[in-house]
Amino acid sequence: MARGNSRIARAGPSSPASSSSPSIGGRQKLITGRIQGVDKDVSRIIYGTLFLHTFENDEACFDLLDSVWAAGCNAFDCAAI
Q: What residues in the chain have per-residue pLDDT under 70?
A: 1-27
The pLDDT assigned to 13 comes to 47
- The DSSP symbol for 81 reads -
The pLDDT assigned to 1 comes to 40
pTM (two decimals) = 0.62
The pLDDT assigned to 20 comes to 40
The pLDDT assigned to 28 comes to 74
Task: From 49, 47, 51, select the one nearest 75 (Cα to Cα).
Answer: 47
The pLDDT assigned to 30 comes to 84
Contact 11, 31 (CB under 8 A): no
The pLDDT assigned to 76 comes to 95
